[in-house]
Structure 1
Amino acid sequence: MTTTTSHTPEPEGLAGLEGPADVPARPARLIQNEVTTEIPVHLLFRDEAGPVSVPLRPTVVARRQGTGEQPRLRRPMQPKPRPAPELDPDLVERPARVLPGAAGVLAGACGAAGCLATSWWAGVLPQLAVEALRLPASAGAGLGPAQWAAYAGAGALGCVGLGGLARGRTGRAWVLGLFGRYQGTVRRTGLLWVNPLLLRRRVDVRLRHWRSEEMQAADGNGVALRVVVLVVWRVKDTARATLGVEDHELYLRECVEAALARVPVEMPGATRGSAEVTADALTRMVVRDASMVGLEVFSVRPVRVEYAPEVAAAMHRRRIAALDAQARATMLTSVVDSVEDTVTTLTMRGLVELDDYERKALVKDLTVAFCAGRGETAV
């Protein structure tokens, strides 16, 4: 019987090696989407000396669905802090150019005197005024173009002189603007002369305090609160406070509300120093936000803290229960200490000799007696 055996030709370079006759076929790829690099076998057994450069491609295996393989965890990117909004760098308080009030009074007097002299020149001044002022008789030139021009100049001088008079008060400042452009700030007091063409805005620069209405807040556990805060502040830069925002008082109120939304507020007496910590945190946040618009904040302090109406009843019962539990724990500790001192004293003085059972019974009786004496029922 003749058996025919098919022989698979061996690759070049492996003819002299011994191995099994039947070489199993390479199994199919288990990973369908893998990318590998195949190296010819004859390159591994070259006799030539010297390095052989074989371009290799890295193996890339994609993530397989349903195999439990997890993707690489990337470090979350921290958001970059947004820079604070900046106002116009030229919008900084600077002193305005004004004159003493005497200059305006003098200009107004000159204008009135010019109108009087023009009336005498034109012959329209009443005779009684001429006699009272002891003026010579007028030539009576009449109201011509020259007289009308003199009237216009004297009237304009008088209007400009008297119309520019202003009174500067302590704790008040004037912010001046011309056609929408900032011209300076007047902090001087007394009678002043300001260009009547300039728009004036009065600003209070005194130290002020603002007691807010009830605002929403929360404690460290997220319980809703109603807080009334007292803010001590003043306007430091009148240009930014007046022209940088529409209403600097409303802006300050919004800053306080934003700070209350970020800082937890504790009830009075919850923890030692919690009120001071809360006040310091609120002050720092409000100072940072309000300084951009020229407001100087000295303190933001909660003066009244209450639970919100929707949780007030529940939190009141919880607080009463906590106080009751604390009182019971204190009373129990006191009773145990008293019983221990009594039993120790009796034993050390040799008044009684007790075994374990009798000691337990004595401790129980003394505990009941001390609790009854304190008006409590022993369990």
Structure 2
Amino acid sequence: MNNEKITTAPSGYLAFVLVLVLIAVAALCFYGQYPVAGVIITIVNFVFILPGLAIVNPNESKVLTLFGKYQGTVKQDGFFWVNPFTVKRKVSLKAYNLNGQQLKVNDSVGNPIEIAAVIVWQVKDTAKAVFAVENYLQYVNIQSEAAVRHLANSFPYDHIEDENASITLRGGAEQVSMILEKELNERLERAGIEVLEARISHLAYAPEIAHAMLQRQQAAAIISARRLIVEGAVGMVEMALNKMEEKNIIELDEERKAAMVSNLLVVLCGDRSVNPVVNAGTLYH
């Protein structure tokens, strides 16, 4: 496999001046009745000198090959002259932004989800990009899709599906992005591509299970809230009983304690306003 070799080329301005001089000399030869010399000078000018002129724009490069052999890459921007028989292939060094399409895949626990990623990449090794793969643009698209699919298959969508998961697609955005970026760099290194940034741009359950999963998330949120309310209510009841015993406000037997605990829990844990009931009798009648 060819590795990138940076080469320097002579300035093209001197060659351009030479082209103009030879054109003038050829014109004088034709004017002075020396057509053979004029033809020879014109052929030399347009076959050996003029085709060698090359312009390299900023953030671009020219990959040079001579009779099937890699000669080097010109990365410096400017006006140059190179061997006229070399094939000059332009390779952009600018950063590309790949907005991946939404993919329907299964997460690690088998739930169908929709996922897409935004990837920023650029060519790092021009020789690999040109000679190691057939089309490096298409190579990036295909390998990026494969990496996103593999990422989705490796982690659950949320902790609801796998409570023991250390990383989830929904909750571990930074870690997931780092993992995706690392895998893309490994996959695209063969083509001389460097991934600058990779992030999940779209993540959702597939439409066929989205409603059911929303209900499940709502139920889990309600259960979590109720658990917190019950824990707080039990603590408040315990504090109330301890305070009454410390200050000797009233002595309660076990049955009255149980009734008081029941009433307090109803008041504290209920999701509606409580209507007080006045008991005119006693607890035992």
User: Is the CA contact (8 Å cut-off) linking 1:98 and 1:195 kept in structure 2?
Assistant: no
Q: Aligned equivalents of 1:209 and 1:185: distance in 2?
A: 24
Q: Aligned equivalents of 2:116 and 2:146: distance in 1?
A: 14
Shift of the alpha carbon at 1:348?
1.8
Q: Which amino acid aligns with 1:375?
A: R
Q: What TM-score results when the alignment is normalised by the length of structure 1?
A: 0.63
Q: Aligned equivalents of 1:269 and 1:198: distance in 2?
A: 59
Change (3 A) 1:269 1:99: farther
* Cα RMSD for the two superposed structures: 2.4
Q: Aligned equivalents of 1:249 and 1:308: distance in 2?
A: 29
Q: Aligned equivalents of 2:185 and 2:15: distance in 1?
A: 42
Shift of the alpha carbon at 1:191?
1.1
SS of residue paired to 2:101: coil
What percent identity do the matched residue pairs reach? 27
1:158 equivalenced with 2:56 (yes/no)? no
Q: Aligned match of 1:200 in 79, 88, 98? A: 88
Q: Aligned equivalents of 1:347 and 1:338: distance in 2?
A: 14
1:120 equivalenced with 2:31 (yes/no)? yes
The structure that is strand-richer by fraction is: 2
Change (3 A) 1:194 1:240: same
Q: Aligned match of 1:361 in 259, 265, 271? A: 259
List aligned pairs for 1:284-295, cutoff 5 A: 284-295=182-193
Shift of the alpha carbon at 1:237?
0.9
- Aligned match of 2:61: 173
Shift of the alpha carbon at 1:290?
1.3
Q: Which amino acid aligns with 1:337?
A: G
SS of residue paired to 2:252: coil
Q: Aligned equivalents of 1:225 and 1:291: distance in 2?
A: 29
- Aligned match of 2:163: none
Q: Which amino acid aligns with 2:61?
A: A
Q: What TM-score results when the alignment is normalised by the length of structure 2?
A: 0.82
Q: Aligned equivalents of 1:199 and 1:296: distance in 2?
A: 25
- Aligned match of 2:12: 101
Q: Aligned match of 2:224 in 318, 326, 329? A: 326
After superposition, give the CA deviation of every residue in 1:317-345 in whole Å (9 maximum; x if it has no partner): 22122112212222222222222222222
User: Is the CA contact (8 Å cut-off) linking 1:106 and 1:161 kept in structure 2?
Assistant: no
Q: Which has the higher contact order (CA 8 A, sep 6+)?
A: 2
Change (3 A) 1:216 1:177: farther
* Gap runs ≥5 in structure 2: 161-165, 275-285
Shift of the alpha carbon at 1:105?
0.8
1:250 equivalenced with 2:138 (yes/no)? yes
The structure that is helix-richer by fraction is: 2
Moved segments of 4+, more than 4 Å: 265-273
Shift of the alpha carbon at 1:170?
1.5
Change (3 A) 1:265 1:302: farther
Q: Aligned equivalents of 2:231 and 2:220: distance in 1?
A: 17
SS of residue paired to 1:99: coil
